[in-house]
Amino acid sequence: MPLIDIPVAIAILDDYQNVALQMADWSRLEGKAKITVFNDLIADTDALVERLQPFDVLCVMRERTLLPASVIERLPNLKLIASTAPINAAIDVAAATAHGIFVSGTGYTSSSTIELTWALILALARKIPSEASALRHGGWQVSVGEDLSGKSLGVLGLGRIGSRVAKIGRAFDMKVMAWSQNLTAERAEAEGARLVSKDELFRQADFLTIHLILSRRTRSLVGASELALMKPSSLLINTSRGAIVDEVALVAALAERRIAGAALDVFNVEPLPEGHPFRTLDNVIATPHIGYVSKRQYETFYGDTVENILAWLEGKPIRPTPDVRAASTTPQSRP
């Protein structure tokens, strides 16, 4: 059992919707912990350290708050970082381990992100936000939407999420093609997709959807040259990570109508700054990184977090979070 005083001081960070305490049975920690919930994000390092110094345990939501070595080494009371999801690139796990801090993870399902991806594709194709807005202001049928059937779906990254997105594309009778750096023709065929070159993917796709992990080799993978290959009628969807796309190049392509539109759930800096073009461009549907924000997902995240804290208090084995920072760059975005 950890050599700590009971009750332990627990901070739940970045609970934007103020729902964390409703998503799990935190009463199981009664008498063992004092819980403080924070609903805001602090980006300033000194202010963040000042806030977190009193706590023994930090419950962090994926990559909202960055916990690099420069923060961890200034938190002498910290003993456990209870992260949601299996991995969290915002945490320097090596630094935490070096300071005797355990980092735990939770279960996760990609279903909510897959569902949002298709919600965005459909909203973009049928111009649902603008039609709904026009209706509220007295309009009626102000645009003409696009069909999915017969169109080309380009999937950038045919992994755990991309393969399921591709499967739904086939259900809409779309022609599915895919590319990623290690994708083989056999693997693509097994997922019902056709392997094409990267350039072909951007040239041919009517809808191009991104499903890659952010790493050194995927950062800015979609840049000005790739966007220039796309058809003026093409639509880009990104529910993965904002930094995979060169944001400046995408803003320019959208503003100049070199592509028809984009649906984006992820951004270089999150929350998205006020005044950002993605908030005002009329050919952009922007959502506030809600791909993983669903009731079932939160119940898994926070339910497993409570289990992890209880196990840690009792000295039982808990699921560790691997250090993924060696294979990726420090994230700039905070979901």
- Residue showing tokens 């995979």: 244
Query: pLDDT of 191-232, one tens digit each?
Result: 999 999 999 999 999 999 999 999 999 999 999 999 999 999
Q: Mean pLDDT check: name the lowest of 1-5, 104-108, 273-277.
A: 1-5
User: Residue 270 catalytic?
Assistant: yes
CA distance 251 to 48: 32
User: Residue 289 catalytic?
Assistant: yes
What pLDDT is recorded for position 325?
A: 58
How far is CA 217 from each of CA 6, 37, 180, 205, 209, rounded to the nearest angstrom? 45, 36, 11, 22, 18
Say yes or no to pLDDT of 333 above 60: no
Which residue in 164, 211, 289, 334 is the catalytic one?
289
Residue ranges and CATH numbers for the domains of the chain are: 8-108+294-327 (3.40.50.720), 111-286 (3.40.50.720)
Query: pLDDT of 15-33, one tens digit each?
Result: 999 999 999 999 999 999 9
Which residues are CB-contacts of 317 (< 8 A; sequence separation ≥ 6)?
Answer: 311
Which residue in 64, 164, 211, 241 is the catalytic one?
241
User: Residue 28 catalytic?
Assistant: no
Average pLDDT of the chain to the nearest whole number: 94
- Residue showing tokens 């999150």: 270
Query: pLDDT of 29-52, one tens digit each?
Result: 999 999 999 999 999 999 999 999
Contacts by 163-172 with C-beta closer than 8 Å and gap 24+?
163/191, 164/110, 164/114, 165/114, 165/117, 165/118, 165/209, 165/211, 166/191, 166/192, 166/193, 167/191, 167/192, 168/114, 168/118, 172/148
Query: pLDDT of 232-254, one tens digit each?
Result: 999 999 999 999 999 999 999 99
A 10 A CB-CB count for 236 gives 28
| Confidence category of residue 319, pLDDT binned at 50, 70, 90 | confident
What pLDDT is recorded for position 128?
A: 98
Which residue in 63, 191, 247, 270 is the catalytic one?
270
Say yes or no to pLDDT of 6 above 90: no
Beta-sheet strands, E only, within 24-129? 33-37, 57-60, 80-83, 102-104
What pLDDT is recorded for position 33?
A: 97
| Confidence category of residue 329, pLDDT binned at 50, 70, 90 | very low
| Confidence category of residue 3, pLDDT binned at 50, 70, 90 | low
Q: 221, 217, 189: which is closest to 328 by C-alpha?
A: 217
CA distance 142 to 49: 51
Query: pLDDT of 123-148, one tens digit each?
Result: 999 999 999 999 999 999 999 999 99
